[in-house]
Amino acid sequence: MAKRGAQGSTRRCNGKVEIILEVGAEGGSLTLLGRCKAREWSFSILRDESTLREFDEDLFDNQLVEHSKTVVGFEAALGLLDRYPWASLYPLRVHPEFRTLVFYEVAKRLFHDKDFDQPPGHLRFWLDACETGVR
């Protein structure tokens, strides 16, 4: 069963969970997980701050690791991500089919964020991670 991908490519919709986007900061990471099934993408977020346990042994797993509800469609996935300052974090991994879309959304957020205090080179990290070819 073929599926039109995020950037118009045709791919197999195999129902496997894939990492769409992973961003990191001191103490943890956010991972956008996606699953293409029956020609439709669904998404959820895994927030993992378990490295903070090194600083506070009294923290419990449910405080450090959280898995969000599942939503359908990339716009809904952005709604989950936008609960966090994800565009200001450092990209660790971007799924090849979503690179252009993710870069567009990052640039939109960074250029519209009046409180954005990252150095200008921060966008370069995203450009490198997304490999969009835009230079």
Q: Report pLDDT digits (tens) over 100-122.
A: 999 999 988 887 765 555 555 67
* Contact assessment for residue 80 and residue 71, using Cβ atoms and an 8 Å cutoff: yes
Query: Is the pLDDT higher at 10 or at 72?
Result: 72
Candidates 27, 67, 25, 33; CA nearest to 47 is: 67
Q: Cβ distance 53 to 59 under 8 Å?
A: yes
Tell me the pLDDT band of 135, cut-offs 50, 70 and 90. Answer: very low
Q: What is the number of helices (H) and of strands (E) in the chain?
A: 4, 8
Q: Of 50, 48, 53, 51, give the one whose Cα is nearest residue 30.
A: 48
Domain range enclosing 126:
2-130
Report yes or no on 135 lying in a domain. Answer: no
pLDDT in tens, 18-75: 999 999 887 788 999 999 988 899 999 998 865 544 555 555 555 566 778 999 999 9
Q: Determine, yes or no, domain membership for 75.
A: yes
Decide if 25 is inside a domain: yes
Q: Is residue 114 part of a domain?
A: yes
Q: Is residue 79 assigned to a domain?
A: yes
* pLDDT band of 80, cuts 50, 70, 90: very high
State the average pLDDT over residues 75-88: 94
pTM for the model stands at: 0.76
Residues 6 or more apart whose Cβ sits within 8 Å of residue 120 = none
Identify the CA nearest to 83 among candidates 71, 101, 92, 97: 71
Tokens of 123: 């966008």
Which residue spans within the chain are E strands per DSSP? 2-4, 10-12, 17-25, 28-37, 40-48, 65-67, 71-72, 90-94
Domain count, the chain: 1
How much is the pLDDT for 62? 53
List, in order, residues 6 or more apart from 105 with CB less than 8 Å away: 78, 87
